[in-house]
C-alpha cells in the first residue's frame, strides 16, 4: 500500500511540475514574440515607416499621452492621422529609439500587459521613457491594443 501511495504522490508531483514548466515555457514564448513586435516597432519608428507602424496595432487601439504633445486618449484612426506630424518632430529632434527591456509582464489568456523601459536618443542627448503596452492575440499575431505613456496605468 505504501508503494502505491508513494507512486501516486510521485505521479502527481511530476504532473504538477510538468504543468508549471509548460506554463513557464508558454510565457517565455509569448515574451519572445512580444519582444519581436517591439523590435519591429523600434525599426518602423526609426525609419518613419508609417505603414509598418500602423500594422502593429489593432483597429480599435488607443494611445494615451503619446510623445507628440497628445495628453488625451487617441483612437487608432486619430493616432494614425498624426503620425506624419510626429515624424517631422522626430526628424527635427533626431529622435531614435534604442534598446528596451521589460520591467513588468502579465499574461492573461490572449491579453498581455508589458511595461517597458526604453532608451532613446535625440538632439538633447540620451534618455529613457516607460510606456505600457497592452497586447492582444489577433489571429496568430500579437498586436498593440493600448499604449500609455507616463504613470503606470495599473
Which contacts (CB < 8 Å, 24+ apart) does range 39-43 have? 41/97, 41/144, 42/97, 42/98, 42/100
In this prediction the pTM is 0.78
Please report the pLDDT score of residue 75 as a whole number: 86
Class level of CATH domain 35-148: alpha beta
Q: Which residue has the cell 504543468?
A: 19
Q: Cα(17)–Cα(107) distance, rounded to whole angstroms? A: 20
pLDDT digits over 94-112, tens only? 888 889 999 999 999 999 9
Q: Which residue has the cell 504538477?
A: 16
- Give the H or E element holding residue 62: strand 57-64
pLDDT digits over 40-49, tens only? 999 998 898 9
Amino acid at each position: 500500500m505504501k508503494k502505491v501511495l508513494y507512486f501516486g504522490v510521485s505521479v502527481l508531483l511530476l504532473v504538477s511540475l510538468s504543468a508549471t514548466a509548460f506554463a513557464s515555457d508558454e510565457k517565455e514564448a509569448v515574451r519572445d514574440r512580444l519582444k519581436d513586435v517591439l523590435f519591429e516597432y523600434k525599426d518602423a519608428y526609426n525609419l518613419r515607416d508609417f505603414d509598418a507602424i500602423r500594422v502593429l496595432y489593432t483597429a480599435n487601439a488607443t494611445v494615451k499621452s503619446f510623445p507628440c504633445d497628445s495628453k488625451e486618449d487617441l483612437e487608432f484612426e486619430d493616432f494614425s492621422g498624426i503620425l506624419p506630424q510626429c515624424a517631422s518632430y522626430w526628424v527635427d529632434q533626431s529622435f531614435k529609439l534604442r534598446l528596451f527591456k521589460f520591467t513588468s509582464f502579465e499574461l492573461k489568456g490572449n491579453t498581455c500587459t508589458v511595461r517597458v523601459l526604453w532608451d532613446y536618443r535625440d538632439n538633447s542627448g540620451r534618455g529613457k521613457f516607460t510606456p505600457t503596452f497592452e497586447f492582444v492575440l489577433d489571429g496568430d499575431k500579437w498586436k498593440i491594443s493600448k499604449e500609455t505613456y507616463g504613470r503606470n496605468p495599473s
